[in-house]
Amino acid sequence: MATATLEEKSGKVVIRHIGLLLSGDIDQPILSADTIVIEDGLITAVGRAKDCDLEDAQTVIDARHTCVCPGLIDSHVHPVFGDWTPRQNQLGWIDSTMHGGVTTMISAGEVHLPGRPKDIVGLKALAITAQRAFANFRPGGVKVLAGAPVIEKGMTEDDFRELAAAGVSLLGEVGLGSVKAGYEAKEMVAWARKHGIQSTIHTGGPSIPGSGLIDKDVVLEADADIIGHINGGHTALPESHVCELCEKSSRAIEIVHNGNERVAIAAARAALELKCPHRIILGTDGPAGSGVQPLGILRIIALLSSLGHIPAELVFCFATGNTARIRGLNCGLIEVGRAADFVFMDRAKHTAGKTLLESVQLGDIPGIGMVMIDGLVHCTRSRNTPPATEVPVVL
């Protein structure tokens, strides 16, 4: 069950007796529905049981009135190869994160590879290899979108054209390589965008040897698609500079677990005040010096909801639908045609919250009872979260 093969098909799956259905859509975060129907990994119906075709299902899941939410998306990870991270010399970190409700991860660069090549031929080769490897292999069933080259001086538009033609669709964090000046980054970011490659820029103080300070002026001039870890990874810019980025840039605002928590809350509040909550996306920025955080996305959700005073149902959208739309992914939203990637949750046993959403707003993470990817169950009761009060069952 841990690692899916891409040939597996779920057939017809019916999920019944859903107590709370979180949509992932920040404009309508809660759906009035209790049933989802899936055919071969895609959602085919969402609604009330009486209005759905429930016949001939290969699998029926009784949600037992728990919450179903789109699978969480970690917008900022640093994978290397397989389910191993040399940063912490740890095996199984991606599978463990799936037990934290994450069904999709997006690479911000394979920067921890020992001996990572920095010449142009080598960095392109690494990006293409990583993209191919993770397209063919899903640790724990998790969809890892990898192959994110760290740009270096001397690259030309032809290099970006070549990468795009080979299937590379992401850039690693701008600023982790030799390109650190705003004007240099701006030119390469524009080349990447022209060829359909999405860019993320490092924001804040240095995180690894070779990186450096990327201040607000560089971020604004470079104009990357994602303001990566706007709350620092780990060291943040001054809070006033972060709020200025939210106001002066129209790009995605990425908040991460491995950053400054006070500034994380300030950035989220600034986006709400600017009436652009759809720009907020969440990541862990792991593995990192602080380790691997299997529950990192759940923890940043609880942080923003409890201390940022943001309704929990909206914060779940930051980690699902917002990221899916900004990243162009066919997941993250509960709607017909989307991938059937779900996390089944309930309030943790003995939390002070009377409901799942109230418990998150009080700062407690939920208990996970099941994780589904492409209509296939990849874990039942999570080995990492506190026990859920109620868990779904496969009939």
In this prediction, residue 380 carries a pLDDT of: 96
Q: 206: pLDDT confidence band, cut at 50, 70 and 90?
A: confident
In this prediction, residue 338 carries a pLDDT of: 98
Are 12-70+333-394 and 72-294 in the same CATH fold?
A: no
What is the tens place of the pLDDT at every residue in 233-276?
889 999 999 999 999 999 999 999 999 999 999 999 999 999 99
- Sequence ranges of the domains in the chain: 12-70+333-394, 72-294
In this prediction, residue 210 carries a pLDDT of: 61
Q: Using H for helix, E for strand and C for coil, what is the string for the chain?
A: CCCECCCCCCCEEEEECCCEEECCCCCCCEECCCEEEEECCEEEEEECHHHCCCCCCCEEEECCCCEEEECEEEEEECCCECCEECCCCEECHHHHHHCCCEEEEEECCCCCCCCCCCCHHHHHHHHHHHHHHHHHCEHHHCEEECCCCCCCCCCCHHHHHHHHHCCCCECCCECCCCCCCHHHHHHHHHHHHHCCCECEECCECCCCECECCECHHHHHHHCCCEECCCCCCCCCCCHHHHHHHHHHCCCEEEEECCCCHHHHHHHHHHHHHCCCHHHEEEECCECECCECCCCHHHHHHHHHHHCCCCCHHHHHHHCCHHHHHHHCCCCCCCCCCCECCEEEEECECCCCCCCHHHHHHCCCCCEEEEEEECCEEEECCCCCCCCECCCCEEC
What is the tens place of the pLDDT at every residue in 26-36?
999 999 999 99
CATH number of the 72-294 domain = 3.20.20.140
In this prediction, residue 212 carries a pLDDT of: 75
In this prediction, residue 8 carries a pLDDT of: 73
Mean pLDDT score of the chain? 95
Q: 7: pLDDT confidence band, cut at 50, 70 and 90?
A: low
In this prediction, residue 1 carries a pLDDT of: 40
Quick one: average pLDDT of 365-374? 98
In this prediction, residue 291 carries a pLDDT of: 86
CATH number of the 12-70+333-394 domain = 2.30.40.10
Q: Residue 357 above 60 pLDDT?
A: yes
In this prediction, residue 5 carries a pLDDT of: 53
What is the tens place of the pLDDT at every residue in 81-110?
999 999 999 999 999 999 999 999 999 999
Q: 6: pLDDT confidence band, cut at 50, 70 and 90?
A: low
